[in-house]
Amino acid sequence: MTYDLVGIGIGPFNLGLACLSDPLDDVEALFLDESPEFRWHPGMMIEGSTIQVPFLADLVTMADPTSPYSFLSFLKATGRLYPFYIRESFYPLRAEYDAYCRWAAGQLDSLRWGRRVEAVEHDPHDDTYVVRARCADGETETYRARHLVLGTGTRPTVPPAARDLAGPWLHSADYLRHRETLRDAGSITIVGSGQSAAEIYRDLLEDTRAETYRLDWITRSPRFFPMEYTKLTLEMTSPEYTDHFHGLPLELRELLGREQRGLYKGISGDLVDDIYDTLYRKSVDGPVPTSLLTDTALVDATWTGDEYVLRLRHDQLGEEYERRTDALVLATGYAASVPGCLEPIRDLLAFDELGRFAVSRDYAVDGERRRVFVQNGEEHTHGITAPDLGFGAWRSSTILAAITGRDVYPVEQRIAFQEFGLPADASPVRSQAREEARLR
């Protein structure tokens, strides 16, 4: 058979798309993932940690509040609705959100686990995509689709200074699997600026003592930025701001992307305060064996066989120095990439001058064909809404509208009170310099 859409990768965003497409009679969908089951950031499932968005930012609610796949439906089905209500917090535990996603995945017949997509080809005879996947048992399965939705997510990134680094360093994505080994080290250094770095630091800080281990945290940021969560700033996760950002020149989008990282890659304000309170509490018994180093970049790193020698640069002072550590944790984030399985259809896809997907406003990556779409691979074109869980249902609704040719779920066009570009009643005034340039 030929599917209306095949999704490659089953993270929260394609899982949400699967939930929203499930009740549609005119959409036959299939989703493939190489993992044996749904798991959401298992290496950072630290006990007590919460997600950074309210429960309404689940898989479906912002598109269809009546969906049986909502977070509230999960709570009701598992007998946790009243405890969640009494708790009086909008923010689910991270482990709870993972359990919710696994609950939703368990109800869907459109998911195929243990399928690694190795190649996507185009058949010009019927204008379909041929998706070839390797199963866990080594067998190959082939699927045909009119549309593709890429939900392969992001991959851990490593700074240039550590890309060829030997030794037992680890990325934050693997933290929990190695936590006990880390605690046996005499000294631990965390490199990173965001929530993951802060959560790992806080988790290890509790047992930091002179007789256990020393704990250091190095960040390039000039300070430990809290995530900005004021209401008018949150309006930037809106269709209007996404329209505005998408229409800007590439150079300006690149600049804004760097400037806006604190809006979604910052640290929870509560966590910042908790870290300080923990340091204060532990300092009652004497100096805490820890250092918090800001405005400090990792320039180079060497593994001696016993420890790491880190060459660091203080950016404000322009001076370099060395520090030694037994264990190294890189909480240096994630980045999107173009899946290798798309190489056979690369000539049908659109790319920008930096080799990234040129993503249209409705999330297509194949120009005017509008047959291949991406989820959370468009931060460079759509801005801060790309990784935002709260905008996932809106994006899935937009993709379904493009695939079906109808508004399956209402797609809000305007939700913000503020204007991000020129107001509708603006009367542009030509500057003298622009007029002279026009006449030339």
pLDDT tens, residue by residue, 115-158: 999 999 999 999 999 999 999 999 999 999 999 999 998 899 99
Give the whole-number percent of the chain exceeding pLDDT 70.
Answer: 98
Q: How far apart are CA 65 and CA 409, in angstroms?
A: 11
Mean pLDDT of 362-369: 96
Q: How far apart are CA 266 and CA 261, in angstroms?
A: 7
Q: How far apart are CA 46 and CA 199, in angstroms?
A: 8
165 closest CA partner among 334, 313, 300: 300
The residue count of the chain comes to: 440
What pLDDT is recorded for position 227? 86
Mean pLDDT of 19-32: 97
Q: How far apart are CA 68 and CA 119, in angstroms?
A: 34
Q: Which tokens belong to 218?
A: 């190095």
Q: Is the pLDDT of residue 434 over 70?
A: no
What pLDDT is recorded for position 258? 84
> What are the residue ranges of helices labelled H in 206-268?
231-234, 239-246, 250-259
**Where residue 431 falls among pLDDT bands split at 50, 70, 90?**
low
Sequence ranges of the chain with CATH classification 3.50.50.60: 2-155+334-404, 158-227+265-331
Mean pLDDT of 242-257: 94
53 closest CA partner among 412, 393, 413, 408: 393
One-letter identity of residue 388:
D
**375-410 residue pLDDT tens:** 999 999 999 999 999 999 999 999 999 999 999 999
Q: Is the pLDDT of residue 436 over 90?
A: no
Model-level pTM? Answer: 0.93
Q: How far apart are CA 57 and CA 81, in angstroms?
A: 17
Contact at 8 Å (CB) between 375 and 152? no
**Where residue 429 falls among pLDDT bands split at 50, 70, 90?**
confident
One-letter identity of residue 127:
D
Angle between helices 269-283 and 195-205 (to 10 degrees): 20
- Range from 120-124, 166-170, 262-266, 421-425 carrying the lowest mean pLDDT: 262-266
**301-336 residue pLDDT tens:** 999 999 999 999 999 999 999 999 999 999 999 999
14 closest CA partner among 123, 91, 145, 112: 112
Q: Is the pLDDT of residue 261 over 80?
A: no
Give the whole-number percent of the chain exceeding pLDDT 90.
Answer: 89
Mapping DSSP to helix (H, G, I), strand (E, B) and coil, where does residue 165 land?
coil
**211-230 residue pLDDT tens:** 899 999 999 999 998 888 88
| Domain boundaries 2-155+334-404, CATH class | alpha beta
Mean pLDDT of 14-40: 97
What pLDDT is recorded for position 439? 62
Question: Furthest-apart CA pair in the chain: how many Å?
Answer: 75
**Where residue 266 falls among pLDDT bands split at 50, 70, 90?**
confident
Q: Is the pLDDT of residue 437 over 70?
A: no
Q: How far apart are CA 65 and CA 282, in angstroms?
A: 45
Q: How far apart are CA 396 and CA 292, in angstroms?
A: 41
Whole-Å CA distances, 379 to 101, 147, 153, 363, 383: 23, 22, 12, 11, 5
**Where residue 16 falls among pLDDT bands split at 50, 70, 90?**
very high
Mean pLDDT of 342-368: 96
**76-86 residue pLDDT tens:** 999 999 999 99
Kindly write down the DSSP assignment for every residue of 310-372, as one continuous string. Answer: EEEEETTTTEEEEEEESEEEEE--EEE---GGGGGGGGGS-B-TTSSB---TTSBSSGGG--E
Q: Quick count: other Cβ atoms within 10 Å of Cβ 278?
A: 16
* Domain at 158-227+265-331: CATH code: 3.50.50.60
